[in-house]
Chain A
Amino acid sequence: MENVIECRNLTHYYGKRLIYEDLSFNVPRGRILGLLGKNGTGKTTTINILSGFLQPRSGECYILGEKIGQMNPLTRRRIGLLIEGHVQYQFMTIEQIERFYSAFYPEWKREAYYELMSRLKVAPHQKINRMSCGQRSQVALGLILAQDPEVLVLDDFSLGLDPGYRRLFVDYLREYAKAENKTVFLTSHIIQDMERLVDDCIIMDYGRILIQMPVEELLGKFRRYTGSVGDGFNPHFDATIYNPAVLRSTLEAYSMEDEQSVRAKLTAAGVQDIVAERVSLEDAFIGLTGKY
């Protein structure tokens, strides 16, 4: 499948602090890929590199086959960008911002924007700086829908949104992306939203990618194991068992290995009454990255 976004061997530092090294990933056409990571793992850094607002220390990224930084400005017509916090021109009204952007996009879909705006119950001459964060998110989404880009890059789309607006955003975006075969690269700190939205996920830890795979595959394989352990149990397992921790004589650990093999390892270590459970994406994220 054709890769719409390709990043190869990205390395970036802020000052002397390493953000990540040799980070490589691809986003195939028509897929929605979510980048998950704790605060400070480099999600926004990656979005900034992809948007051309940050020069990585080394490595290169391509969107739609063009190297970012040397991209033809007209190619940006095919890329929709949502900046963290749904940033838009605060000094414009709903009407003005639509009029402004429409001049840049020959295929501008005015009706898509106004359809979403009609749900907001705000006057067309209302300024964006007088809107709630939720309403601003809908303005930003409406503008992206009207632009109708091939690729969408969305930075922390759930920031500041209440559950209703988050759900509205996710449902609208997923339906649109799937119906129109759009490629989406996004980040969010609310992982429940990602589970409803993304096809593939990259889970990042400090400085590296932990996994990159379809969400369905991850949730199909990933299990949480709990079991009883004696006092003073000191969990030491191989790398296939993630973040084992003991709380009040109960061991909790996570793994993607097949269940039989994990049970054998836990039993050999002295764990009893082992229970294996399927988990949500959020639990899988916690299982992989740890709680701290």
Chain B
Amino acid sequence: MIQAIFYKERIKTFWYSLLALLTSVGFAGYCMLRVWRVCELKGVEHLWIVMMQKDVIFVDMLQFVPLFIGLALAVVQFEPEMQRKSFKLTLHLPIRATKALCAMLLYGVAVLLVVFLPAIALMWGYLHTVLAPELWQHILLTTVPWYLAGIATYLLTAWVSLEPTWSRRIVDAIMSLMLIRLFFLTTTPEAYNGFLPHLTVLTAAFSLLSMLSLTRFRDGRQD
């Protein structure tokens, strides 16, 4: 039955997932192209010096890409369920509603991992050939909160999308914006290193918020 839920989610998100993968890998690839160009024009030594002296990481343009990918995935996945309240069909399936919703969220997070990991692998694949471990780790660790923000945005958008009333949706959306802000408090590279475990736990906790929307939906809350 869980596989059938995954099948339904795949039908909704297949084309978007491909687009998201291309976007994610495309942006990461473009950033690597910029690094390669610096290496070709000014040499690897220059790259190292710029990174160490000016704290440049060359992947700044990736900052909000995972966020938008996560946001759009949640919209693509959950808005069809809310159209004409067809989420009722999912809740009428002979499976616990929380289990069905967990399967839907798990699918979404898995898609995001499939979309984000190749981009990270691509960056690591190139960077570790031209940079010392400290430097490529510096870049990749700086991107971790951005990718976590992508997953967090997905989970928060799911929470907002599944909320049955518009008034509460607006409140939830404002709260989501404030929570997402936590992932972008500073642009200083590796500023989040010590906070990453907490950020990961916080991101995982956002999945529980969708359960609140589910409960409100089942109680028949209306505007």
Contacts and interface: CB of A to CB of B under 8 A. Distances in A.
Given A73-B94, A76-B94, A105-B94, A52 B89 contact: no
Contacts of A239: none
Nearest to A48: B220
Contact of A51 (B80, B88, B219): B88
A73 to B, nearest CB: 5
Contacts of A75: 94
A100 interface: yes
B11 A92 contact: yes
Contacts of A99: 7
A91 interface: yes
Nearest to B86: A87
Contact of A100 (B4, B97, B219): B4
A103 interface: yes
A83 B93 contact: no
A104 B92 CA distance: 11
A85 B94 CA distance: 22
A77 B94 contact: yes
Contact of A87 (B84, B91, B94): B84
A55 to B, nearest CB: 5
Interface SS majority for chain A: loop
Interface in B84-106: 84-86, 88-89, 91-97
Contacts of B86: 83, 87-90
Contacts of A76: 92-94
B193 interface: no
Nearest to B220: A54
Task: Name the interface size band of chain B.
Answer: 20 to 34
B128 interface: no
A247 interface: no
Contacts of A79: 92
Contact of B12 (A48, A54, A91): A91
Contact of A104 (B4, B11, B80, B83): B4
Contacts of A77: 94
A186 B95 CA distance: 24
A219 B16 CA distance: 57
Nearest to B2: A103
Interface string A209-228: 00000000000000000000
Interface in B1-28: 1, 3-4, 7-8, 11-12
B80 A55 contact: no
B126 interface: no
A81 interface: yes
Interface string B191-223: 000000000000000000000000001111010
A83 B94 contact: no
Contacts of A14: 222
The listed residue with most A CB atoms (<10 A of its CB), out of B8, B95, B96, B219, is B8
Nearest to A81: B92
A74 B95 CA distance: 7
Given A14-B222, A90-B84, 14 more contacts: A48-B220, A52-B218, A73-B95, A73-B96, A74-B94, A77-B94, A87-B88, A87-B89, A90-B83, A91-B12, A92-B8, A100-B4, A100-B7, A104-B93
Interface of B: 1, 3-4, 7-8, 11-12, 80, 83-86, 88-89, 91-97, 217-220, 222
22 contacts: A14-B222, A51-B88, A51-B92, A52-B92, A52-B218, A53-B220, A77-B94, A83-B85, A87-B84, A87-B89, A88-B86, A89-B8, A89-B89, A91-B12, A91-B80, A96-B11, A100-B7, A101-B4, A103-B1, A103-B7, A104-B94, A105-B94
Closest 4 CB pairs of A and B: A54-B220, A103-B4, A77-B94, A76-B94
